[in-house]
Amino acid sequence: MKASVNIGLLGLGTVGTGVVKVLTQNAREISQKVGVPVTVKKVMVRNPNKARSIDVSVTTDIDEIINDQDIDIIVEVMGGEQPAKEYMLRALNSGKHVVTANKDVVAKYGRELFDAAQANNVDFMFEASVAGGIPIIRPLKQCLTANKISEVMGIVNGTTNYMLTKMTNDKLDYQTVLAEAQAKGYAEADPTADVGGLDAARKIAILSSIAFNTRVSLADVDVEGITNISPVDIEYARELGYVIKLLAIAKDNEECGIDVRVHPAFIPAAHPLASVNDVFNAIFVRGNAVGETMFYGRGAGEMPTASAVVADIIDVARDIRHDISGRILCTCFEQRNFCPAEQTNSAYYVRLLVEDQPGVLAAIAGAFGAHNVSLNSVIQKRKVNNCAEVVLITYLVSDANIRRALNTIKDMSVLTTVQNVIRVEAQQID
């Protein structure tokens, strides 16, 4: 029996530092739970001369870690696609277990990594890759595995939720709140992945792959970020009784297939997701046996993310101790169809600038009506550069019809600009 389970840590940034802290602060309890101590033996970084907040010796040579026979688990928290993917594959093929927080690699190369883990009879775990400290991968793969899942929906990006909360509650501007999220260690190295919706898209691709037993890749996700959300939209949302959130949605649409998307949405102020603020994330999962379940907590940050990474480490260490590695394999045993975007339905908020003349509103309403888009409410309350600002909320309409209506309106001479179009997600959770 080994005297300790040893880790090779790749990356000592926000998450890596948190992992060392959790393993150190909770060392006694972790050792009791596993049966032997769990220790960080080697740490790899990019810049060995950088000042660190914790005292560990570092290397820049991956071979020193992968070729170390005494290292059992490689923990990848360096981020990015390459060389992270190559290092993880090499580790798995060397018979080492891998724990990662890297949604970029899991979303794109999950199959390859699972195959390598299976071939080598080792564990591959990635709880921290989705929703930071919130348990969601393990619940889907284990606790809810008896269910047929019909829907996974929620807020899975801490950076944008922090930004939208601050823009709404403190009326701060976009650049200020983005800089705050970066300073707090929530944002990705390249924050365009957060604000552009790609980070959330990778996460919902991972969750829906597990939920629907089908490989869902980034290309299958319809993605829109928050870069077009302005304080004006936030103010209209408030006035109409909504808040704006970046939602990740995966539905099993029985008529047309799997519908997976990320986009900002108006949600009613009384909706449970409306009060999920700051860096917090929340995910609803609907299963045919369990019904509705909700997972809530901090979706990013040093210690919450480290909590999920270290839980995976402890699970792997227990498997090593009991010689039962490689138990939970890839569950993508189906190949479901994807629902084309034009076949999905939604209500919409539309903000237009139009000429301020008699009959314009009727002409716009007529264009919507001609394409079967029924209007729920219309507001016209202010002028911008001599144009009238018109805000409309539609009833539930097909994506194809709203696109056709907007194309017709864009060609009308009375239109100055379509300022914004945002979905309204009015469905209440049971």
Burial tier of 63 (Cβ tally within 10 Å: 0-12, 13-18, 19+): exposed
CB 117 within 8 A of CB 124: yes
Residue 78 found at the interface with ligand HSE (CB under 6 A): no
What's the longest Cα–Cα distance across the chain?
85
Residue 30 corresponds to which tokens in the numbers above? 């972790």
Cα–Cα distance measured from residue 209 to residue 331, given in angstroms and rounded to the nearest whole number = 8
Binding mask of the shown chain, residues 28 to 67, with x at each position contacting ligand NAP by CB under 6 A: ----------------xxxx--x-----------------
Instruction: Say which of 203, 381, 383, 410 is annotated catalytic.
Output: 203
Which helix H or strand E contains 79, and what residues bound it? Answer: none
186 binds ligand HSE (CB under 6 A): yes
Q: Does 194 bind ligand HSE (CB under 6 A)?
A: yes
Enter the DSSP assignment of 368. H
> Which of residues 76 and 199 has its CB atom nearest to ligand HSE in the complex?
199
For residues 282 and 155, is the Cβ–Cβ distance under 8 A? Answer: yes
159 binds, among ligand NAP, ligand HSE, none (CB under 5 to 8 A by kind): ligand HSE
Tokens coding 236: 């209209």
Q: Does 297 bind ligand NAP (CB under 6 A)?
A: no
Based on the shown chain and the rule CB under 6 A, indicate whether residue 194 belongs to the binding site for ligand NAP: no
Q: Which does 265 bind (CB under 5 to 8 A by kind): ligand HSE, ligand NAP, none?
A: none
Q: Give catalytic status of residue 2 as yes or no.
A: no
The reply to whether 287 sits near ligand HSE by the rule CB under 6 A is no
Burial class (CB in 10 A: 0-12, 13-18, 19+), 208: buried
Q: Are 44 and 69 in contact (CB under 8 A)?
A: no
- From 40-48, 80-88, 180-188, 246-254, give the range in contact with ligand HSE by CB under 6 A: 180-188
Q: Per CB under 6 A, does 212 bind ligand HSE?
A: no
Nearest residue to ligand HSE, by Cβ distance, number only: 159
Write the interaction track for ligand NAP spanning residues 125-164; mark x where CB under 6 A is met and - where it is not: ---x---x--------------------------------
DSSP state of 140: I
Match 């037993």 to its residue by tokens: 213
74 binds, among ligand NAP, ligand HSE, none (CB under 5 to 8 A by kind): none
Please say whether the beta carbons of 265 and 160 come within 8 A. Answer: no
List contacts with ligand NAP (CB under 6 A). 11-16, 44-47, 50, 77-79, 83, 101-103, 128, 132, 185-186, 188-189, 300-301, 305
